[in-house]
Amino acid sequence: MTVSRFAYPLVALAALAGCAAGPAPLGGTAAPGASSGRWESRVATLTLAERIADVCYSEGIFLAPSPYGGAVHRATEELAAEGVDRATLEAAYANHDFDTTTAAVKSYLSARGASEAAPASLCAVGESEIAQGSELGRVLQKS
């Protein structure tokens, strides 16, 4: 089963909100076809983290260290390290609509009263996510 592009914003937002099932534990198996949805959710989370870190660096919020740069590369390599087939990940990339990711990120921020036009609002979201230890919060750090 793959996630349709029409359902993706809901999947991405649920994942960003911490409501979606996370990745299978190391050594475990994810549901068949879940890799594409996991990749898309991870890209959305990392894209959001990058936006927050870019705006909030002066507030001491930054991306947690990773050997991989960029949301797409990082998501791909993290999932490949977990054993997800590279061909599946490459297919997810080839079929991905990045406009949908942008819309999901904006919707997520808006739902939390944040806007890129008001940088402090993004920092508040980042701080909240870090405090909660959410998936997004684990990608960010505060000094």
Confidence of residue 142 (pLDDT cuts 50, 70, 90): very high
Task: Please tell me the total count of domains within the chain.
Answer: 1
128 is in which domain, residue-wise?
8-24+31-142
Provide the whole-model pTM: 0.75
Q: Is residue 56's pLDDT more than 60?
A: yes
Asked if residue 35 is part of any domain, the answer here is: yes
Asked if residue 2 is part of any domain, the answer here is: no
Asked if residue 135 is part of any domain, the answer here is: yes
Q: How far apart are CA 50 and CA 86, in angstroms?
A: 24
Read off the pLDDT of residues 93-104 as tens digits, 9 standing for 90 and up: 999 999 999 999
Confidence of residue 130 (pLDDT cuts 50, 70, 90): very high
